[in-house]
Amino acid sequence: MPVDYFDMNCQKCPRLAAFLCEVKEKNSTYHCKPVAPFGDENAKLLIVGLAPGMHGANASGRPFTGDYAGIFLYEALHEFGFSNAPISESVTDGLILKNARITNAVKCLPPQNKPTGEEINVCNAFLANELKTLSENSVILALGLIAHQAVLKAYNLKVSSAKFAHNAKHELPNGHFLIDSYHTSRYNVNTKRLTKESFNLVFETILSLLAP
């Protein structure tokens, strides 16, 4: 990955760097580093999550891999033709994304899954550089409010310029589109805030925008 939108050795956030060291001491086999974006480098669909999960991406080294939040996401990516398999198990499972890439607003595991505003802002430079690699008519899928706001900040837009709502569509600079979805977290799925049907609607919207 180009270093301008990802740095495996980044330690710009002292709290996150210290926390990763603590977690690594207790879980020696875990990745416990910034988690790189995963997928097609020439993708026209960029999926933006919040941050790596403790026993998911922070352990596996791949976004949304190893915890509950990846179940809905990878199933949908496969169903709508963006991947060769419906399950992401590990970095060695042979999964390939087609015309899609997954990244996070914050690349490092935050304590209690809650990055500070300052940490989100520091990491936003990486996201902004990644968004610059997208071609015209690309689509950004934001999973959750924080990801939605991080995308707007990365385009130097006010967070009030586009209201978050499930399956909402927002026009962005450079001919890009932002689509919102509730996060694929266990809580949202168990409470039926996000269902397979409502998540599929988001991907139907994405396909309509990516259609030639």
Q: Quick check: is 17 in a domain? A: no
Q: What is the pLDDT of residue 113?
A: 92
Q: What is the pLDDT of residue 200?
A: 98
Does the pLDDT of residue 3 top 70, yes or no? no
Q: Quick check: is 11 in a domain? A: no
Mean pLDDT, range 98-121, rounded to an integer: 97
Q: Quick check: is 94 in a domain? A: yes
Region of 146 please: left (phi>0), alpha (psi -120 to 50) or beta: alpha
Q: What is the pLDDT of residue 83?
A: 98
Q: What is the pLDDT of residue 191?
A: 97
Q: Quick check: is 21 in a domain? A: no
Mean pLDDT, range 64-75, rounded to an integer: 96
Q: What is the pLDDT of residue 129?
A: 96
**pTM score:** 0.96
Q: Quick check: is 131 in a domain? A: yes
- Domain total in the chain: 1
- The proportion of the chain whose per-residue pLDDT surpasses 90, expressed as a percent, equals 97
Encode pLDDT of 130-175 as tens digits.
Answer: 999 999 999 999 999 999 999 999 999 999 999 999 999 999 999 9
Query: DSSP secondary structure string, 129-196?
Result: HHHTTPPTT-EEEEESHHHHHHHHHHTT--GGGS---TT-EEE-GGG-EEEEE----HHHHHTTSS-H
Mean pLDDT, all residues of the chain: 96
Mean pLDDT, range 41-62, rounded to an integer: 97
Q: What is the pLDDT of residue 211?
A: 86
Contacts of 92 (CB under 8 A, 6+ apart): none
CB 180 within 8 A of CB 163: no
Q: What is the pLDDT of residue 190?
A: 97
Q: Quick check: is 98 in a domain? A: yes
Strand order in the sheet with 100-104: 38-39, 100-104, 45-49, 139-143, 177-181, 169-171
Q: With bands split at pLDDT 50, 70 and 90, how would you rate the model's confidence at 11?
A: very high
Domain around 119: 32-210
Does the pLDDT of residue 2 top 80, yes or no? no
Encode pLDDT of 186-207 as tens digits.
Answer: 999 999 999 999 999 999 999 9
Q: What angle do CA 122, 123, 127 make, to 5 degrees?
A: 135
Q: Quick check: is 7 in a domain? A: no
The CATH number linked to 171 is: 3.40.470.10
Q: With bands split at pLDDT 50, 70 and 90, how would you rate the model's confidence at 79?
A: very high
Cα 124 from chain centre: 13
Does the pLDDT of residue 212 top 80, yes or no? no
Does the pLDDT of residue 185 top 90, yes or no? yes
Pairing of strands 45-49, 139-143: parallel
CB 14 within 8 A of CB 22: no
- Rounded Cα distance, 19 and 14, in Å: 8
Q: Quick check: is 93 in a domain? A: yes
